[in-house]
Amino acid sequence: MKILVIMGSPRKGNTYRAVQKIEEFMHSMGSVEFEYLMLKDATLSQCRGCFVCFIKGEDHCPCKDDAPDIEQKMNAADGVIFATPVYGMNVSALMKNFIDRFSYIFHRPRFFDKKALLLSTTGALGLKEVLDYLKLVASIWSFEVSYRVGIVTPPGPISRKKEQENNQKLEKASFVFYNSFQKERRSPGLKDIFVFRAQKASFGELGQSSPSDYAYWKEKGWLSPEAKYYVDVPVNPVYNAIGWISEKMLRRKMRKDLAEIGS
């Protein structure tokens, strides 16, 4: 089992030590290989917002940096740990830049066979906000989020009770993450279906303005009327019906908007 750690901390502090603790717990459960990608050491340009990756594809991005190699690392891993401290009630700047740089994956998801563990540390507040955001990102990128864990690590020495509490949280996260690799992918929830249907409508109707997205979705078979989700897993019939209706309504609105623009 190969685990890639995307480390959003600029130093080897609380977040780094928390992941090391997870690595220690997982090693006690079986054979596992960890690779740490320290974003502070990676060359990742800031996204220019030029839309080239959306329109022509990521290969045409004007930023020539480590992004292709990093994507290959994610592809080669069985699971990814997204780890970041809370900075200003959000992910660190390093993690945000990483997410922005791979924005094209929001349009063209590709990590369906990967599990994800989300980890954040904070001195006091912000864990829910950060973990919610990471879950949104990882889910739309099509990782199956196995678990999310946040621990409070105040500046300076912490009490033995707090240390034990944090270790228990990390041990549980390690256990759930490790065992998730033995299970089939879960069925999507209603929110997942909404995202799929919204994208299906958008990229199905915007073939001229987003040809790269359209070609990707068509190649995957997701634009087919029979496609219920990105992957072949059971879909709740009620969720599917609601998603189908929402897709039809969105397509109708988009066609109306496009007609008004063209008139």
Q: Is the pLDDT of residue 78 over 70?
A: yes
Please give the residue that has the higher pLDDT: either 15 or 160: 15
Task: Provide mean pLDDT across the span 4-8.
Answer: 98
Contact present, 2 and 73 (Cβ < 8 Å): no
pLDDT tens-digit profile of 116-172? 999 999 999 999 999 999 999 999 999 999 999 999 998 878 888 889 999 999 999
Tell me the C-alpha distance between 195 and 200, whole Å.
Answer: 8
Q: Which SS3 state, helix, strand or coil, does residue 23 take?
A: helix
Contact present, 158 and 6 (Cβ < 8 Å): no
Q: Hey, what amino acid is at 66?
A: D
Instruction: Please report the pLDDT score of residue 212 as a whole number.
Output: 92
* Average pLDDT of every residue of the chain: 95
* Structure-token pair, residue 41: 């050491």
Among residues of the chain, what percentage have pLDDT more than 70? 99
Q: Is the pLDDT of residue 60 over 70?
A: yes
Query: Please, what is the end-to-end C-alpha distance for the chain in angstroms?
Result: 56
Q: What is the pTM for the complete model shown?
A: 0.94
Domains and CATH numbers, the chain: 2-180 (3.40.50.360), 190-262 (no CATH)
Instruction: Please report the pLDDT score of residue 207 as a whole number.
Output: 80
Task: Provide mean pLDDT across the span 87-116.
Answer: 96
* Structure-token pair, residue 18: 């928390």
Among residues of the chain, what percentage have pLDDT more than 90? 90
Give the CB-side neighbour count of residue 157, counting CA atoms within 13 A. Answer: 2
Tell me the C-alpha distance between 76 and 227, whole Å.
Answer: 27
pLDDT tens-digit profile of 193-250? 999 999 999 999 988 788 999 999 999 999 999 999 999 999 999 999 999 999 999 9
**pLDDT band of 111, cuts 50, 70, 90:** very high
Helix (H) or strand (E) holding 248: helix 237-262
Instruction: Please report the pLDDT score of residue 263 as a whole number.
Output: 64
